[in-house]
Amino acid sequence: MTDEISQQFKADVAAISTEPLEGSSDENRVKRLVAQVFLRLWTRLALETGRRLRMNPSQFAVGTYKGKMSWAVNEGCLDALQRVELGDDRGKGYMLVAEVYEFDDEIRTRIFFSLQEDEVKGEAVYVNYLVADMGAKDFSPKAVADSMQAVLPKWAEALMSGDDGPLVSHAKEHFECVGV
């Protein structure tokens, strides 16, 4: 069942329109697509695992659910949307994060898992593992789904079992550690 989630997610994001809205900047186009991808991922994981993940900003601030895996992005939130987090707080905390940033005059998107690996003085220490980093020209929902294909079954397994070991092991073995 967990292996099917990747295929279902690919189908979910294939329905996202990648056409820019008239007058929309590259940054707003990417932010809209990031919002759509994370809203559909939130919905797919909730449906398939029975777990409700925490999304920050809230899924209801980012979009309005229209049914059948379709969301309308709340355009008013795009200007402030620099980072989206989707995570679970059971056991050690972890989250999938997307950041939209500018580097060398280019809008880019970085997607990474932030995994709690330790605790120092009562504060959680998170280590980041890079899933994808792409410029606005290369960013697409399909590219995100492709980069997530192998890890989604591990994430779904972690959500259903309450054991984040498979997700953490996969991240450490397959993704580059990019900081704390």
Q: For 136-157, what is each residue's pLDDT tens digit?
A: 999 999 999 999 999 999 999 9
Angle subtended by helix axes 26-49 and 141-148, to nearest 10: 40
Of 83, 167, 104, 98, whose CA–CA distance to 133 is shortest? 98
Residue 56 tokens, joined: 């920050």
Q: Are 42 and 65 spatial neighbours (Cβ–Cβ below 8 Å)?
A: no
Q: Are 72 and 61 spatial neighbours (Cβ–Cβ below 8 Å)?
A: no
How far the first Cα of the chain sits from its last, in Å, is 33
Tell me: the pLDDT tens digits for 16-35? 988 876 667 889 999 999 99
Q: Are 156 and 5 spatial neighbours (Cβ–Cβ below 8 Å)?
A: yes
Tell me: the pLDDT tens digits for 26-69? 899 999 999 999 999 999 999 899 888 999 999 999 999 998 88
pTM: 0.92
- The residue among 62 and 3 whose pLDDT is bigger is 62
